[in-house]
């Protein structure tokens, strides 16, 4: 609390809008296929006051696309209003002046300006009543434009063979309906008032680990008085594509926040850096705990290029497209890992299987036993592009609670940066995990943030660390760092899965404390002895976390870490 006292104020009194899409009362939907169920709601960013220009995600308009456009829309550079149902009705809702103070949140104490999102696409958007705390403005669709840079990055990163799912929609590499599309709206009411344009910034300024805030409304237009402009905090987990067009963050967003804003801290203020595309992602039916975001500068550039080619476009409509602040002189607030920490984590490949590892010596890599999968040799890739062969010199037993393997490389890695090892652990401290997660080598290691939620002790000594960082398949063997000191706390071994219902929990995971492993590492470096590592099997018998977390098979199937 004391650290927050001097930070600028962020409230919801100036933030975004609700976008509701439906048919006009009594109108026919015969030209649309399939027939939409509505209204549909979506988050909106108020880009400008005069005229009132709103940006939102295009997914909420997909049910209203004319049947004649269904087969060809993906080949268009722009979709104009005539491509949609002629009886389309749009409404933009925002908090009214007398209720903004009541709706405002006082954390974090920075100002988003008049730009943050409100409601988002969700099938629960069935409420027609307008709350007394909201002003309703009629609006019109100007156009829907695809962001091709985002689409290109997405198609390269998200392979269809990995069975990716986003909000219940099957998304293949070449079949991405409306995921990369964004709609531009104009508010028709002359009495619409806004305090000024949103401040935007280029995603090129971002680095992995940079803190970000998201703002959107869970569950769409269901109970907006309760959920309107809900905030979440996370970090930039990874980026991909030209100019970081595709961003992944571990900020926890819920269904209904699609179209919400992602804001980065620059100086004393917040700047819009991206739009939420999908708050929940699954890979092969496993929730990965990351939110998919499209960079705002690429969205605005796509819209600007279309507007410049339209002879009937008023100049005032183009002004909001120039909102992205130039990169020159801007510095994003940073509290995440620096480059040596990222370089300490490597990709460990064993045939088609990959995991992560930590460089503890120019020729030694620490990883997990289940990553090497019984192999005698592996291939190790470090950043930016070094590859080395390694020999597996030790693995713990399958039955051991300590899932550890030691790999010795044939040659030293040129990017070696010796991590500083921690000697103590503080429950509740901020931490982050660096690992190759769900994407392998495609875009380098991912970073996720959380806290050290528990230190499990046996006879007073730390034997396992529990964190809230999002950990996915591929992160095993990765590094757990303390945010404040940058010290290596442990090696990631598992998240939690309940096999009785087939659910994986990425935010409940375990790491082996580095204090358990350090004596064995030093003994091997100085004496070439594996005795210290072999003792891990005996130490693991005392821990028995694996067995304690399994249920009685008589009641339900086993739940195994």
Q: Residue 524: in which H helix or E strand, if any?
A: helix 514-527
In this structure, the number of other CB atoms found within 10 A of the CB of residue 378 comes to 27
Calpha distance 160→170 (Å, rounded): 9
In this structure, the number of other CB atoms found within 10 A of the CB of residue 113 comes to 21
Residue 476 annotated in active site:
yes
432 contacts 469 by C-beta, under 8 angstroms: yes
> Which residues have a Cβ under 8 Å from the Cβ of 450 and sit 6 or more positions away?
250, 430, 431, 432, 433, 467, 468, 469, 470, 507
Q: What is the dihedral of CA 41, 45, 46, 51, to 10 degrees?
A: -70
Residue 269, sorted as left (phi over 0), alpha (psi -120 to 50) or beta, turns out to be beta
Beta bridge partners of 409: 390
The one catalytic residue in 57, 137, 271, 370 is: 370
Inter-axis angle of helices 514-527 and 531-543, to 10 degrees?
160
Phi then psi dihedrals of residue 520, to 5 deg: -70, -40
Which whole-number Å values give the CA distances from 332 to 206, 328, 385, in the listed order? Answer: 7, 12, 27
344 contacts 488 by C-beta, under 8 angstroms: yes
Max Cα-Cα span within the chain: 84
Residue 370 annotated in active site:
yes
Phi then psi dihedrals of residue 217, to 5 deg: -120, 105
Radius of gyration of the chain (CA): 25
Calpha distance 133→103 (Å, rounded): 9
The one catalytic residue in 403, 446, 494, 507 is: 403
Residue 319 annotated in active site:
no
In this structure, the number of other CB atoms found within 10 A of the CB of residue 402 comes to 25
- Triad 454, 465, 402: Cα angle to 5°: 145
Calpha distance 373→160 (Å, rounded): 25
Helices assigned H by DSSP within 270-338: 296-307, 315-318
Instruction: For 40-83, give the DSSP string.
Output: EEEEEEEEETTTTEEEEEGGGGGGGBBGGGTTTGGG-S-B-GGG
> Which residues have a Cβ under 8 Å from the Cβ of 243 and sit 6 or more positions away?
149, 202, 203, 204, 295, 297, 298
Helices assigned H by DSSP within 288-406: 296-307, 315-318, 339-343, 369-372
Distance, first Cα to last Cα, the chain: 35
Tell me which residues are annotated as active site: 370, 403, 476
């Amino acid at each position: 609390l004391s650290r927050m006292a001097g930070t600028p104020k962020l409230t919801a009194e100036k933030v975004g809008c609700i976008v509701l899409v439906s048919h006009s009362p009594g109108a026919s939907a015969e030209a649309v296929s399939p027939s939409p169920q509505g209204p549909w709601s979506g988050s909106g960013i108020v880009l400008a006051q005069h005229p009132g220009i709103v940006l939102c995600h295009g997914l909420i308009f997909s049910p209203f696309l004319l049947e004649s456009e269904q087969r060809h829309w993906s080949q268009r550079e722009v979709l104009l209003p005539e491509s949609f149902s002629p009886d389309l009705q749009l409404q933009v809702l925002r908090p009214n002046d007398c209720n903004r103070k009541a709706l405002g949140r006082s954390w974090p104490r920075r100002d988003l300006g008049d730009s943050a999102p409100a409601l988002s696409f969700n099938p629960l958007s069935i409420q027609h009543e307008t709350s007394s705390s909201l002003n309703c403005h009629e609006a019109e669709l100007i156009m829907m434009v695809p962001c091709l840079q985002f689409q290109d990055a997405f198609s390269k990163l998200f392979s269809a063979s990995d069975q990716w799912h986003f909000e219940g929609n099957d998304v293949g590499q070449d079949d991405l309906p409306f995921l990369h599309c964004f709609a531009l709206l104009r508010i028709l009411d002359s009495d619409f008032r806004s305090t000024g344009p949103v401040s935007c910034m280029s995603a090129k300024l971002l680095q992995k680990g940079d803190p970000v805030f998201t703002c959107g409304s869970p569950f769409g237009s269901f109970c907006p008085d309760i959920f309107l402009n809900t905030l979440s905090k996370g970090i930039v987990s990874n980026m991909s594509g030209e100019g970081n067009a595709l961003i992944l963050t571990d900020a926890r967003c819920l269904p209904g926040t699609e179209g919400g804003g992602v804001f980065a801290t620059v100086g004393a203020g917040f700047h819009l850096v991206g739009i939420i595309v999908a708050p929940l992602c699954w890979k092969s039916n496993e929730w990965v705990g990351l939110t998919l975001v499209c960079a705002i500068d690429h969205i605005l550039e796509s819209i600007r290029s279309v507007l410049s080619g339209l002879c009937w476009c008023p100049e005032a409509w183009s002004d909001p497209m120039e909102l992205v602040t130039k990169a020159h002189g801007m510095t994003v607030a940073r509290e995440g890992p620096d480059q040596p920490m990222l370089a300490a984590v490597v990709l460990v490949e064993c045939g088609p299987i990959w995991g992560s590892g930590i460089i503890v010596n120019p020729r030694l890599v620490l990883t997990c036993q289940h990553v090497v999968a019984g192999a005698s040799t592996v291939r190790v890739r470090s950043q930016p592009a070094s590859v080395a062969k390694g020999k597996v010199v030790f693995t713990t037993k399958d039955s051991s609670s300590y899932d550890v393997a030691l790999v010795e490389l044939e040659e030293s890695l040129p990017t070696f940066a010796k991590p500083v090892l921690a000697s103590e652990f503080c429950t509740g401290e901020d931490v982050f995990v660096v690992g190759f997660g769900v994407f392998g080598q495609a875009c380098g290691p991912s970073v996720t943030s959380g806290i050290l939620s528990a230190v499990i002790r046996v006879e007073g000594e730390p034997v396992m660390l529990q964190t809230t960082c999002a950990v996915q398949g591929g992160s095993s063997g990765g590094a757990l760092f303390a945010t404040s000191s940058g010290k290596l706390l442990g090696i990631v071994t598992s998240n939690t899965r309940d096999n009785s219902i087939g659910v994986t929990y990425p935010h409940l995971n375990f790491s082996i404390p580095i204090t358990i492993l350090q004596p064995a590492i030093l003994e091997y470096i100085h004496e070439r002895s594996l005795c210290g590592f072999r003792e891990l099997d005996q130490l693991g018998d005392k821990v028995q976390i694996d067995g304690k977390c399994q249920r009685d098979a008589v009641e339900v199937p086993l739940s195994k870490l």
